Chains A and B, each alone.
Chain A
């Protein structure tokens, strides 16, 4: 049985939670991710930036009704990485 290497960017609780949420929707606001993951704004922001640096998510900062809004969406590279991560996970599961 070959165990595939798990992507270290995704193999973290909060980053994996963010990616799992973003893979299910077209786009989501920072506040939505914060509510669903129950993470602090600071931690969420740090982990989102790590995902952004890896090219897995795209972050668009804009203004909505004069308030700053952060929209996040998964990139095609992020989708590929997520799919590979799930495939790799399956190699660790007992048959």
Chain B
């Protein structure tokens, strides 16, 4: 770039092009969507099969999510160290996902309190989980202008409305389907988009 004086039109063109370059920075590589999508899908199917086999505590499979959460924290810390730019939307979406994780954690605690007091929370708990999954997925899709994510969120909310009409034994299945449409498919598409961006900026 030269240090020659700029005309007002050149100044505006420069501002516009730089803002556009910064805006096109797409930091989401889809890894965490794939990681959690496959993990929750596995837990749902495993719980469903274990329950069919009359295993006493099929829900024990969900303890895997605590190990995954520990890995998630390590992964985020490493990723943050590698990042060369943080956009306003990265910051905002980070907060949305933190709020979601807190709400999810509190919901699991509340569910267990209700169950301990003899109320059958988990009979409709999966519908609530699906409603909750939809919120950060929809927000991320809208902020990143990434259609597969917000369509996936609409899928979560539709499945939340269908879940009460299924027999209680089948409640893991809408959750498993939601993982495929809201996190796994968008996760692979995000990965492709991120690779394309990396390839374009390196070429």
With most chain B CB atoms within 10 A of its CB, the pick from A25, A32, A38 is: A25
Q: When A20-B14, A24-B87, A89-B12 are in contact, do A36 and B21 touch as well, CB less than 8 Å? A: yes
CA distance A10 to B61 in the complex (A): 59
Q: When A25-B87, A25-B88 are in contact, do A36 and B18 touch as well, CB less than 8 Å? A: yes
Of B3-11, B30-38, B148-156, B158-166, the one with at least 4 CB within 8 A of chain A: B3-11
Query: Using a CB-CB cutoff of 8 Å, which residues 13-68 of chain A contact chain B?
Result: 13-14, 16-17, 20-21, 23-29, 31-32, 35-39, 43, 64-65
Determine the main DSSP class of B at the interface with A.
Answer: helix
What are 10 A-B residue pairs whose CB atoms fall within 8 Å in the complex? A12-B6, A16-B14, A17-B14, A24-B22, A25-B85, A26-B87, A26-B90, A27-B85, A27-B86, A32-B85
Residues on B with C-beta less than 8 A from A31 are: 84
Shortest CB distance A33–B (Å):
9
Count class of interface residues, chain A: 20 to 34
Shortest CB distance B187–A (Å):
24
CA distance A35 to B81 in the complex (A): 19
For residue B19, CB closer than 8 A to chain A, the reply is yes
Interface residues of chain A, those whose CB is within 8 Å of chain B, are 11-14, 16-17, 20-21, 23-29, 31-32, 35-39, 43, 64-65, 86, 89, 92-93
In the complex, the chain A residue whose C-beta lies closest to that of B86 is A26
Q: When A25-B87, A29-B85 are in contact, do A13 and B4 touch as well, CB less than 8 Å? A: yes
CA distance A13 to B8 in the complex (A): 11
